[in-house]
């Protein structure tokens, strides 16, 4: 069933607009978006599905003579730390955040067939998780909620 029917919503963002939104958020927060951070962000923004760190490195090597894994991972760490991208733990890949100006945690629906990931933004779901954690006396520091299955496009193709 579509996330829209459950009160959540999906987003698709234009890569250029997304990068500009991150630049604006960096300016507002006094953060430095270095050329490497920006290029990693651009590569994530144009990807049609979550991308792995070594795939980013492979794309950077023709552009950056001595591109190294540590450079990519430092850029990814910065982008995650400031809420500009999400790391999908179960597939060890990265995707852009649809709300780069605000920090938040959201569940993802990940298609096991095509690899697409859909961010499910629903403030009620997030609030319920936090409320339940607090009711248990638990203080959450991070959240990873990833639901695997088959997307509508792949299901229709079979």
pTM of the model: 0.82
49 is a domain residue: yes
Is 93 domain-assigned? Answer: yes
Q: Is residue 4 part of a domain?
A: no
Domain-located, residue 46: yes
Q: What is the pLDDT of residues 42-88, one digit of tens each?
A: 999 999 899 999 999 999 999 988 899 999 999 999 999 998 999 99
To the nearest whole percent, how much of the chain has pLDDT over 70?
89
* 41 occurs within a structural domain: yes
Question: What is the DSSP annotation of 38-84?
Answer: HHHHHHHHH-SS-B-HHHHHHHHTTTSTT--HHHHHHHHHHHHHTTS
2 occurs within a structural domain:
no
Number of domains composing the chain: 1
Residue 62 placed within a domain: yes
| Residue range of the domain that includes 82 | 9-157
Residue predicted with more confidence, 126 or 62: 62
Q: What is the CATH number of the domain that holds 95?
A: 1.10.10.10
């Amino acid at each position: 069933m579509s996330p829209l029917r459950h009160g959540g919503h999906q987003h698709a963002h234009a890569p250029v607009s997304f990068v500009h939104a991150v630049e604006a958020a960096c300016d507002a927060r006094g953060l430095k978006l270095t050329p490497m951070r920006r290029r990693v962000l651009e590569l994530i923004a144009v990807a049609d599905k979550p991308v792995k760190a070594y795939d980013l490195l492979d794309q950077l090597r023709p552009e950056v003579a001595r591109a190294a894994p540590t450079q990519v991972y430092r850029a990814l760490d910065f982008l995650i730390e400031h809420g500009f991208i999400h790391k999908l733990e179960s597939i060890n890949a990265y995707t852009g955040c649809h709300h780069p100006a605000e920090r938040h945690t959201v569940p993802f629906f990940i298609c096991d067939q095509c690899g697409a990931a859909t961010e499910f933004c629903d403030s009620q779901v997030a609030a319920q998780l936090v409320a339940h954690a607090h009711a248990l006396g638990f203080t959450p520091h991070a959240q990873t909620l990833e639901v695997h299955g088959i997307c509508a496009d792949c299901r229709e193709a079979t």
